[in-house]
Chains A and B, each alone.
Chain A
Amino acid sequence: MKTPREIILESHRAAEPRLDRLGEAVLAAELGTAHKASRGRANPVGAMMQKLWLELIWPSRRTWAGLAAVWVVLGVAYVTTRRPYDPTAHAASQQPMTSWVEEEQLLAQLLDRPPSAPAKAPAPARPASGDGPPAKSAQWLADDFPRFC
C-alpha cells in the first residue's frame, strides 16, 4: 500500500534533475552565487546575463520569438526585393533641376535681363568694410540703375 503523497511525488520524480538546475539558476541570479562544483568563483557578468535571461527574456519568450521572426521576415523581404544600383534613375532625378534652369533662362530673355549665372559655391565670409571687390548685389544694382530711372 502507498500513501497518496508517495504516489503523487513518484509520478513527478523524473523532473527532479531539472528542478535541481532550476534552483541553482535562481540562486545564481538572485544571490549572485554559483554551485562550487560547477564554477570556481562567481562570475558577475554571467550572473547578470542569467538574471537578464530569467527576468527579461524567459517570461516573455513567445513575444521575443515573435519579434525575432518578424525581423527575420523583414530582412528576407528586403534582401529578395532589393534592386541593383541604376544610374538612369540618378539621371532622371536631376531632370527637374535642369528644366528649372532652362525656365530661368527663358524668363530672363523675356524680361530682357542677362541670364543669371549658374549657382556657385558661397564665397567665404569677409568683413563688410573689406578691401576686396564690390559685392555682387551692388554690381547688379549699378547695372540695372538706368532702367529704374
Chain B
Amino acid sequence: MPPVAEPVPLPVAQARAGNAEAWRVLFRRYQLPLYSYVHELVRHDQTSLDLVQETFIRAVRHLGRLRDDAKFGSWLFGIAHQQCIQHWRRSRMEQPFDEESADLPDESGEGPAELLVRAEQAAQFRALLAQLPPPQRAVITLFFLEEFSIEEIAGITGAPPGTVKSRLHHAKRTLKKLLEHQP
C-alpha cells in the first residue's frame, strides 16, 4: 500500500503567517483529494470546483482558529463538508445526512488496503461507490482518501463516532459484496 501520511510536516504555521508559498504547498497537497471528496458528494464538476474554491477561501481566512496544526487535513475536509451541506440547503435539496444507523462492531482496525481493486474493475468500483447512500459514501471516501480515523471523520461530518462506525461498516460490506459479484 502506498504511504498516505506526509513524511515532511506541512507548512501550516508559515501559511498562518500569510506565506503564499506555504499556502501553495497546502493547496497542492489537498486540492485533488478535496475535489474528489466533494465530487463524490455533489456529483457535479462545476459545483465541486465552486465548493473547493469556497473551502480554500475560508481556510485562508480562518486558519488562525485552528489549534492543532497536525489536524489541518481534517479541519480542511470539515470546511468542505460544511460547504456541501450549505450547498444542499441553498438548492433546497433534501439533506442526505439526517438518517441515523445503529452501532455496529468497530472495523476501524482494517485499513483501506483490505479492499484492493483490480485495475479492470476501477470503473465498476466507482459506479458502486456512487450507489452508496451519501452518508456512507462520505464516510468511506474520507476513509479511503486520507485514512482519517473514526474520530476525525466524526469531527468532519458532525456525526457521532458510533454512527460513523456503523456507516463505515455498512459501506465496506456493501462494496465488498458488490465487487464479489462483479465479473
A binding-site residues for B, Cβ under 8 Å = 1-13, 15-16, 18-20, 22-23, 25-27, 29-31, 33, 54, 58-59
Other-chain residue from A3, A9, A25, A54 in contact with B116 (beta carbon distance below 8 A): A3
Interface pair A33/B53, CB less than 8 Å apart: no
100-157 of chain B: CB within 8 A of chain A: 112-113, 115-119, 122, 125-126, 129, 141, 144-145
B113 x A9 contact (CB < 8 A) = no
Interface of B is mostly: helix
The answer to whether A30 and B36 touch (CB under 8 A), given A4-B117, A8-B141, is no
A19 & B31 in contact (Cβ 8 Å cutoff): yes
Flag if B119 contacts A12 (CB, 8 Å): no
Can you report 22 residue pairs joining A to B where beta carbons are below 8 Å apart?
A1-B116, A1-B118, A2-B119, A4-B115, A4-B129, A5-B112, A7-B126, A9-B36, A11-B126, A15-B32, A15-B49, A19-B35, A23-B23, A23-B24, A23-B28, A23-B56, A25-B53, A26-B60, A31-B20, A33-B20, A59-B50, A59-B54
Given A2-B117, A3-B2, A15-B32, residue A8 in contact with residue B126 (CB < 8 A)? yes
* Chain B residue total in the interface (Cβ 8 A): 41
Residues of A with C-beta under 8 A to B20: 27, 31, 33
Set of chain A residues within 8 Å of B49, measured between Cβ atoms? 15, 18-19, 22
User: Which of A6, A11, A54 is in CB contact (< 8 Å) with B2?
Assistant: A6
A31 to chain B, nearest CB (A): 5
State the CA gap A5–B61 with chains docked (Å): 29
Cβ of B125 and Cβ of A19 under 8 Å apart? no
Any A CB within 8 A of the CB of B57:
yes
CB closest chain-B residue, reference A51: B57
